[in-house]
Amino acid sequence: MIKVLFFARLREQLSTDSLQIQLSDNMTTDTIRQQLAETDTLWAKVMSADNLLVAVNQEVTDWTQQINDGDEVAFFPPVTGG
Amino acid sequence: MIKVLFFARLREQLSTDSLQIQLSDNMTTDTIRQQLAETDTLWAKVMSADNLLVAVNQEVTDWTQQINDGDEVAFFPPVTGG
Amino acid sequence: MIKVQQSDFVVADEYRYLANDNQDGAVVTFVGKVRDFNEGIDVQGLSLEHYPGMTEKVLNDIEKKAREHWPLNKVTIIHRFGDLTLGEQIVFIGVTSPHRKAAFAACEFLIDFLKTQAPFWKKELTSEGSVWLDAKNSDDDASQQWQEKLND
Amino acid sequence: MIKVQQSDFVVADEYRYLANDNQDGAVVTFVGKVRDFNEGIDVQGLSLEHYPGMTEKVLNDIEKKAREHWPLNKVTIIHRFGDLTLGEQIVFIGVTSPHRKAAFAACEFLIDFLKTQAPFWKKELTSEGSVWLDAKNSDDDASQQWQEKLND
Summarize pLDDT for A41-80 with one digit per residue, the tens: 999 999 999 999 999 999 999 999 999 999 999 999 999 9
Residues C120, C48: Cα–Cα separation, whole Å: 7
Domain count, chain A: 1
- Which pLDDT value is given to residue C152? 67
- Which pLDDT value is given to residue C127? 83
What is the C-alpha radius of gyration for chain A, rounded to an integer number of angstroms? 12
Cβ-based neighbour number of residue C65 at 10 Å: 16
The dihedrals phi and psi of D95, each to the nearest 5 degrees, come to: -140, 140
Residue C119, domain CATH: 3.90.1170.40
Residues D10, A40: Cα–Cα separation, whole Å: 60
The dihedrals phi and psi of D39, each to the nearest 5 degrees, come to: 50, 45
For residue A8, is it within any domain? yes
Residue of D57, D111, D139 lying closest to B58 (CB–CB): D57
The candidate with the shortest Cα–Cα distance to C117, out of A55, D67, D102, B38, is: A55
Q: Is the pLDDT of residue C39 over 80?
A: no
What is the percent of chain C where pLDDT is above 70? 98
Of residues D40 and C80, the one with the higher pLDDT is C80
Give the mean pLDDT of chain C.
94
Q: Is the pLDDT of residue D96 over 70?
A: yes
Cβ-proximal residues to A25 (8 Å cutoff; 6+ apart), any chain: none
For residue B82, is it within any domain? no
Per-residue b or e along D79-106, where b marks 16 or more CB atoms closer than 10 Å to that residue's CB = bbbeebeebebbbbbbbbbbbbbbbbbb
Owning domain of residue A44:
2-76
- Distances in whole angstroms, Cα of residue D49 to Cα of each of B70, B79, D46: 24, 10, 10
Interval C126-151 mean pLDDT: 87
Residues C145, C148: Cα–Cα separation, whole Å: 5
Cα–Cα–Cα angle for B67, B68, B69, rounded to 5 degrees: 130
- The single-letter DSSP state of residue C85 is E
Interval D131-145 mean pLDDT: 88
The dihedrals phi and psi of C30, each to the nearest 5 degrees, come to: -125, 135
Cβ-proximal residues to B25 (8 Å cutoff; 6+ apart), any chain: none
Chain D: residue nearest B6 by CA? D51
Sheet with B72-76, strands from edge to edge, namely: B18-21, B2-6, B72-76, B53-56, B59-61
| Pairing, β C41-50 against β C26-33 | unpaired
D positions 27-46 inside 8 Å of B (CB): 32
Closest chain C C-alpha to D12 CA, distance in angstroms: 5
DSSP class per residue in D123-134: EEEETTEEEEPP
Q: Given CB atoms, is C74 within the 8 Å cutoff of chain A?
A: no
pLDDT confidence band for D152 (50 / 70 / 90): low
Q: Given CB atoms, is A55 within the 8 Å cutoff of chain C?
A: yes
For residue B46, is it within any domain? yes
pTM value is: 0.95
- The single-letter DSSP state of residue C35 is -
Domain count, chain D: 1
D68 HSE (CA, 13 A, CB side): 8
Q: Is the pLDDT of residue D101 over 70?
A: yes
Q: Given CB atoms, is C100 within the 8 Å cutoff of chain A?
A: no
Q: D68, exposed or middle or buried, with CB in 10 Å at 0-12, 13-18, 19+?
A: exposed
Q: What share of chain D is helix, strand, coil (3-state, %, to 5)?
A: 40, 35, 25
What is the percent of chain B where pLDDT is above 90? 100
Of residues D151 and D31, the one with the higher pLDDT is D31
Query: How many CB pairs below 8 Å do chains A and C form together?
Result: 74
Q: Given CB atoms, is A61 within the 8 Å cutoff of chain C?
A: no
Q: Is the pLDDT of residue C35 over 80?
A: yes
pLDDT tens, residue by residue, B19-35: 999 999 999 999 999 99
Give the mean pLDDT of chain D.
94
3-class SS of residue D60:
helix
- Which pLDDT value is given to residue A18? 98
Interval A22-49 mean pLDDT: 97
Residue of D57, D111, D135 lying closest to B80 (CB–CB): D135
- Any bridge partners for residue D95, and if so which? D28, D75
Report whether C18 contacts C96 (CB < 8 A): yes
- Which pLDDT value is given to residue A8? 98
Residue A72, domain CATH: 3.10.20.30
Answer yes or no: do A82 and C117 touch at CB < 8 A.
no
Cβ-proximal residues to C108 (8 Å cutoff; 6+ apart), any chain: C30, D104
The H-assigned helical ranges of chain B are: 8-14, 29-37, 41-47
Owning domain of residue C15:
2-151
Residues B1, B67: Cα–Cα separation, whole Å: 10
For residue A82, is it within any domain? no
pLDDT tens, residue by residue, D59-87: 999 999 999 999 999 999 999 999 999 99
Residues D8, D18: Cα–Cα separation, whole Å: 18
Answer yes or no: do D54 and B9 touch at CB < 8 A.
no
pLDDT confidence band for C121 (50 / 70 / 90): very high
3-class SS of residue D71:
coil
Lowest mean pLDDT among B17-26, C1-10, C40-49: C40-49
Residues C84, C7: Cα–Cα separation, whole Å: 10
Q: Is the pLDDT of residue D41 over 80?
A: no
Closest chain D C-alpha to C25 CA, distance in angstroms: 5
Closest chain D C-alpha to B24 CA, distance in angstroms: 25
For residue A44, is it within any domain? yes
Interval C32-53 mean pLDDT: 89
- Which pLDDT value is given to residue C38? 73
The candidate with the shortest Cα–Cα distance to C114, out of C54, C73, C69, C70, is: C54
3-class SS of residue A27:
coil
Residues D85, D122: Cα–Cα separation, whole Å: 12
